A and B are shown apart, each in its own frame.
Chain A
């Protein structure tokens, strides 16, 4: 049977996709934590990171698309990841300044935030489409992905392998998540974020600069989404609408894990990726069923645990 033969391969591909969902989902969940806002423009933060990374790759590679001399493939990729993270963080920061801060100052109702988020999203992707064209952009290949190790299970075309790019995606995503977890639980900035998430007014009375904390939350979410965007670009395509579907999926992952809960977002992302991958392996012509299966899983989880797998623990350590 296909699924049992390809179990490890499917699991691996699921983790790869899931770790990208997780990187994006963290941005949704952290912003929800401090503002109780679903930042629908986060998918465009992700898209701008991918664009930033691709422009960095293109600028370094020049016209022939080869890695410039004097760079190793990993330095080259790292520069692209940094560029993507910086661009995304800048976009997320400006977004908060321009779209959400004025609303907060005027104590706007929650519904106004929501429609602002949707408006900002539409504005940003149309702006990107206008500036960079509406075709897919070329992504220079940072390395010609050779196999790293061989997975158990075989098909007629020989054993299935894992490529450098796959390892890069998973390792980068996990390192980012571990670092974020440490930042939130061990640093002053982290305790600020948790304090604002628990009770913004009290946090302010205790001397926490709420505005600053919110800004930084957006920046952190942007950094992660930017890295996710560049990684996604390397195996998918880059265009002005690329953010939409991953954004929806990551939001789903955040809800699945428990919105507002950072570890929940990580878990939800991974779970969603693996469910999507497995459903393709188990169901014949499974690609058509992927979304059906993932949303059935979401509904079932919410029926059993209405606040998500790890619960809606805004402001707690985990």
Chain B
């Protein structure tokens, strides 16, 4: 009798779950749930079954969790680079991708880095994607002599922390922050600006840089902070609205930025709303809703493939592999992976060492898709372009390079 009851209860649950998932089928369209098994065995290499040994390129970033979109964009970029390289087959080994999912959380940074470090086949890492995990993992990668090229971790202090194997292919937030401040002061001509950060490594680094430059530009600044996961943004939104600031900058990630956008809309804020690379993602629009997201502007050192014919080949190859459009940091992930691949090629040996790879990355000069990859002595990228994007009719569209926008006004 008891077992019968239990079976019945199980059936009830199963039916419920099934019904729920049936409803869901029609409405979820996120690129999520694409977690391919982490050993990289499945990814693109098995085709080249030619007796060569296999080495790996690691990817560390948020592949699940609230901010997974940014990590997955990078992951697919890396997978594409590896797939193309294996198809060419001019290395003395096959390449595979090994994924380490830190969910973008600082607490997971060290564990996930160790996962990659302990695998002797990993020759280089693309990532960590977010600044918090990078701060936690940078020293570990240094000690292991394993090169970590981040396509997206932009907190300024990361390259000043003595992580000797850490590099990044985007301009850091001192540069992004300065550009954002100049844009608001000179192009938007905002005399007073409200800056909100999310208290994360990334958000605080960016807001500090923005505030410093706004003061240089003679702009009145008001600031506030709202930790990620804040329950009710409406008080903060009212504060921004009643401050009368001409522009508002949110330094944080899209999962919270979108909620804040909703609250700002409902509070009736009419100034220009801006955010940074961490919020520049279609999920910002999903979270906020089309109405509230419309008109938001984003600064980003990243370059979108968009409709630029220069990137058409990349876009179509990416779409074929990932079954999605390339997003923020897809190109940078692709470039970071190709930088490692070009170094491996330069070394021209079937058994490269991590130390040799790390040494060669420091002096690399590789023409990537987005920019020339060439590092300063601290590991920052030597080019400093920052772009401004805007949501127009529900689509994130490139407005232009900050330097031209500021200069041209």
Contact = CB atoms under 8 A, between A and B. Distances in A.
Do these two chains really belong together in a complex? Answer: yes
A300 interface: no
Interface string A1-29: 01001100110010011000000000000
A138 B269 contact: no
Contact of A131 (B17, B270, B283): B17
Contact of B227 (A157, A165, A288): A288
Instruction: Give the dominant DSSP class at B's interface.
Output: helix
Contacts of B227: 287-288
Interface stretch (A181-189, A258-266, A274-282): A274-282
Nearest to B34: A133
A133 B32 contact: yes
B: contact size bracket: 35 or more
- Give the interface centre of B227, B231, B238, B243 by most chain A CB atoms within 10 Å: B231
B229 A245 contact: yes
Interface string B6-44: 100110110011001101101110101100000000000
B26 A13 contact: no
Contacts of B28: 132-133, 137
A135 B30 contact: yes
Nearest to A98: B9
Interface string A106-144: 000000000000000000000101111111111111001
Interface stretch (A89-97, A190-198, A216-224, A308-316): A89-97
Contacts of A17: 231-232
Contacts, number: 153
Interface residues of A, number: 63
Nearest to A244: B229
Contacts of A241: 66
A173 to B, nearest CB: 15
A51 interface: yes
Contacts of B30: 133, 135
B258 interface: yes
A148 interface: no
Contact of A2 (B16, B229, B239): B239
Contacts of A155: 238, 241-244
Interface stretch (B128-136, B287-295, B329-337, B350-358): B287-295
A144 to B, nearest CB: 7
Interface in A212-256: 235-237, 239, 241, 245-246, 249
A138 B289 contact: yes
B225 A287 contact: yes
Contact of B283 (A9, A135, A281): A135
Given A55-B27, A136-B255, A235-B266, A13 B234 contact: yes
A144 B262 CA distance: 12
Contact of A280 (B6, B223, B236, B270): B236
Contacts of B349: none
A158 B283 CA distance: 32
Main secondary structure of the interface of A (DSSP, over half): helix
Nearest to A286: B235
A104 interface: no
Contacts of A165: 266
Contact of A59 (B27, B64, B266, B286): B27
B186 interface: no
A158 B243 CA distance: 10
A109 B224 CA distance: 47
A288 B199 contact: yes
Nearest to B65: A134
A47 B226 CA distance: 23
B230 interface: yes
6 contacts: A13-B232, A132-B24, A141-B291, A155-B238, A157-B268, A237-B287
Interface of A: 2, 5-6, 9-10, 13, 16-17, 48, 51-52, 54-55, 58-59, 65, 87, 90-91, 94, 97-98, 102, 127, 129-141, 144-145, 155-158, 160-161, 163, 165, 235-237, 239, 241, 245-246, 249, 276-277, 280-281, 285-288
Kindly list the 3 A-B residue pairs having the minimum CB-CB distance in the complex, ordered from nearest: A155-B242, A156-B244, A133-B32
Interface of B: 6, 9-10, 12-13, 16-17, 20-21, 23-24, 26-28, 30, 32-33, 64-66, 68-69, 199, 223-227, 229-232, 234-236, 238-239, 241-244, 255, 258-259, 262-263, 266, 268-270, 283, 286-287, 289-291
